[in-house]
Every structure is written in structure tokens, then in C-alpha cells.
Amino acid sequence: MERNRFLAIFAVVIGASAFGFLGLFTRYFMETCGLTALDTAMIRVMISVILLLPILLVFDRSALRISKKDIPVFLLFGFFKFLSDVTLFYSQSKVTLCLATLLQMTAPFYVMFISMALFKEKLTLKKIAALTLSIAGCIMVTGALSGNLSAEITGMISAMLSGLFFGVFMIGGRITYLRGIKPEAGLFYTFLVSALVALPFVDLGGVAGAMTDFKGLFYALMLGLAMSLIPFYLYTWSAQYLEPTTSTMISVFEVVVAAVVGFAFFGERLNILNIGGMTLVILSIILMNLTIRRGYRKRYGKYIPPAQRNTGSK
């Protein structure tokens, strides 16, 4: 089990690093090819569906079978996943990659508020402290605290909306897990619904034109495979062996990678105030998940990863 845990930690690091490079590919399609955030999101989900379908047909055809009662779940949460992509990609075209990634990673706080409304969860002092740290950190990163607001308001709002939509998608993932739906099936149908939702609104000619040359096709494949299927699978697999708190702590590495990509490829720089704000937001996310973990332990006892639950080991 220790070996699997080590591999799971490594898997989350790889997945977070992959997501940190996402802006490099989205900006290519939006800035170089002239596509919109909607068109770029369509490329991501379309390539993911095209690549994942034959894999499931060959290795696990049973994963494609779902109950009719699960269809509304996929329709709803697939729609929110697509909205999360569109708003994130738009924000990446307006603000730094680091800020866009950071604001989207506040999704756990939206989950907290939704859970309070739907499941009557309590607002504790630790949750308030985590939320306060997050707000203060976001203000510092944007430069508003020093009176030098360097980021575009629309980009920041879009990134925060992406966090909200991704938070709803996270709840959907939990629901599909409780329904006994295989993770690969959930992933496939989520991307499929997203592609169908986007179809009437995208510029199919522009999307096809962006992938006519080798570079465009390569970037599309990277967006669908290396920036989507592989990291999502790694996160799903690692959840069998890692506590959610551990995964979240490691996944904040995505912000660091996004900052490095922004600096190396687009000349985006961070000052001391920005770095301090990033640190506060990361600490708030860790504190939030530690609170969730303690709540789980208090309610159900010792946290046991899914892989150990399935085998009955302690």
C-alpha cells in the first residue's frame, strides 16, 4: 500500500503540472488562431471524446452502459463542466495564467456554500478563517490592495465563475461515485455532453481550420489528451490511495506551474505582493480541506481511502 500511495502522490504531481500548462495551448488557439473560448473548449472536449471512446470499446465496453436515471445527472454536470472550461479559457486570455488558475482553485469554497444550502452543513470558525485568508490572498494577487489593479475585471470574474462551475461539477462527480458509476464512464459522458452542448454555438469551420496544419493538430491532441484525459485519470486513480486533503495540498502545485509557464512563455511577472497573496490562497485551500477532513473523521471515524474500503483492510 505504501508503494501505491507514493505512486498516487507522484500521479497528482504529474496531473497538477499538466493542468498548469493548460494556458499555453488555450492561448495558442485563441490568440494565434483567432478562436473564442467557446471554440477552444469545444476542441478540448471533442478530442477527449474521440480518444476515449475507442479505448473504452476495446478495454472496458461495460463502462459505456449507464442507467436511464443517470442521464439527467450527466446532462446537468456535463453542462457545468463545459461552462467551467469556457470561463477559465476566457479568463486566461484576459489575466495572467497564475491568477486565472488561482481564482478557479477557490472551487472548494463554492462547494462549501452549496453544501450549506443543500445539505445544511454548518459554517464553522475554521471555514470562516479559510474564507478570509482566501479573500485577502485574492486581493493581494490582483494588486487591488496597493491601489494598482493590474488585472482585467472581466477576466477575474470569469475565473471566479469557473471556480463556481467547477465546484458544481465536483459535487456531480461525488454523486456519480455514490451511484456506483465507473470514473471512466463519468469522464466520457461528461465530455460527450459538453461537446453536444457546445455544438450549436461554436464556429465549426474555425475549429476545423485551426487543426489543418501539424502544429494545430498537435496542440489539439495535447489539449485533449495530455491536458485532459491523462491528468483527470491520474487524479481519479490517485483518489483510491490518498485522502482528499493530501490530493488538494499537492494539486496547488498547479498554480506554481501556471506562474512558471506564464513567465517563461508570455513574460508574466509576479511581485512580492502577488506571491504573498498566492501563499494565502493556497493556505486557505489547505485549511478548508483540513476542516472537511476533520468533519469526516468526526462523523464517520477514521478516513479510509476507497481502495482500502473495497478490500476491507484498515
Residue 201 near residue 38, CB atoms below 8 Å:
yes
Secondary structure, 3-state, 171-209: HHHHHHHHCCCCHHHHHHHHHHHHHHHHCCCCCHHHHHH
What's the mean per-residue pLDDT of the chain?
Answer: 81
Rounded to whole angstroms, how far apart are CA atoms 286 and 248?
7
Closest C-alpha among 20, 141, 36 to residue 89:
36
Weakest mean pLDDT among 34-43, 187-196, 201-210: 187-196
For residue 311, what pLDDT is reported?
A: 42
Position 313 in a domain: no
How would residue 314 be classed by pLDDT, with cut points 50, 70 and 90? very low
Closest C-alpha among 236, 218, 215 to residue 226:
218
Q: Which of 250 and 85 is assigned the larger pLDDT?
A: 85
Q: Which of 262 and 125 is assigned the larger pLDDT?
A: 262
The count of domains in the chain is: 1
Phi, psi of 234 (to 5 degrees): -60, -40
Position 215 in a domain: yes
Rounded to whole angstroms, how far apart are CA atoms 236 and 227?
14
Q: Which of 312 and 160 is assigned the larger pLDDT?
A: 160
For residue 297, what pLDDT is reported?
A: 59
Through-space distance between the first and last CA atoms of the chain, rounded to whole angstroms: 11
pLDDT, one tens digit per residue, over 267-307 is 988 778 778 887 887 787 777 666 655 665 565 555 555 55
Rounded to whole angstroms, how far apart are CA atoms 234 and 236?
5
Given a cut of 50, whether residue 54 has pLDDT beyond it is yes
Position 304 in a domain: yes
Given a cut of 80, whether residue 89 has pLDDT beyond it is yes
The CA distances from residue 189 to 43, 45, 186, 209, in Å, are: 16, 10, 5, 26
Position 163 in a domain: yes
Average pLDDT of the segment spanning 163-186: 77
DSSP state of 40: H
For residue 147, what pLDDT is reported?
A: 53
Position 61 in a domain: yes
pTM of the model: 0.83
Position 63 in a domain: yes
Q: String of b and e for 14-53 (b: at least 16 CB within 10 Å)?
A: bbbbbbbbbbbbbbbbbeebebbbbbbbbbbbbbbbeebe
**Residue range of the domain that includes 96:** 2-308
Position 168 in a domain: yes
Given a cut of 70, whether residue 86 has pLDDT beyond it is yes
Position 314 in a domain: no
For residue 257, what pLDDT is reported?
A: 87
